[in-house]
Structure 1
Amino acid sequence: MNLPNKLTVLRIIMVPFFVFFMLTDTGGAANKWIALVLFCIASLTDLLDGKIARKYNLVTNFGKFMDPLADKLLVCSAMICMIESGQLSAAFVIIIIAREFIISGFRLVASDNGVVIAASYWGKFKTVSQMAMVILLIADFGGAFDLVCEALIWISLALTIISLVDYVAKNRQVLTQGGM
């Protein structure tokens, strides 16, 4: 397993620890900051694995499939935790997760036909906006940052919908190839 794939696996392993610190009070006030550090490190592994894979020609089918899945697991877990804290509405999170299930379904159908679909730029923009939103929501600085968080919530939602439409439009042949 190459380094980018190891970073992807590390990101997946970090998710339960992140969720633990988001949802428990074991460490008191430090939990928020521990969760924030874990989320930031996991988010950085996403940036690093892609850069390393492209720079050293280490792109693999495992990475093309698991990297976006690891991102979804990290970001969706964070957003689900934020429903409980009242920072995000369930409707918002349901829309985000529905998009992820639709894209995952497309990837599974494509995979059955021997096709691996890499993430698009719209999907990458969506992921970055969601990660930035999560970071600011966890940090909860208040004041003007509340407006920034609100803007990022709406930007994330818009990019979620745009990336879904783009993805389906660019890959609609997957549905016809699969005998559906």
Structure 2
Amino acid sequence: MLEEFLGYELINGENASFEFTGSSLSESFYKQLLIAILFAFILMAIVVFFIFRTFVPSLAVIIAAFADILMTLTMINILGMKISSAGIVAFLMLIGYSVDTDILLTTRILKRDEGSLNERIYGAFKTGLTMTLTSLLAITFALFVVKSFSIVLTQIFTVLVIGLGFDILNTWITNVSILKWYVEKKK
């Protein structure tokens, strides 16, 4: 069938490579990806604690990233999707997106002095929401383009669209509230 589509014969070793991936190899790869997520999360936590050197803001970043993953997993489960290795890779990407906006917010609030607290939050909000919405729109468009022909990309983009939606809530409601409380309490 593939040869008919391509218009030429596939010859193993010459113009094609045929490999079999058994269930034990796939299962091992899946477990390694889950370990990679855990390892990435631990390294992210260490880096965040190193950058901010204070417990509450660092914990707020970690909680927001964890909430993004947990809420996305919950929605994926509600939708009845089965997560493949592509989905796990999307969760690794989601950690990056989540931490990016949370660090932007935390840095603007804690390490900048110009403007009031609310002005710093608003400035971070404009920048962070622009970043997230740009990614969300691009990924949503890509999801509609690839939905009909790529299961792998569909799963990656679906996880990211759901996760970025939750990231907006977790960053700009939960994390802002925690950080604002922390800064006002510190005064």
> TM-score, with normalisation over the residues of structure 2?
0.35
> TM-score, with normalisation over the residues of structure 1?
0.36
Report the structure number with the largest CA radius of gyration: 2
- Identify the structure with bigger relative contact order (alpha carbons < 8 Å, sequence gap 6+): 2
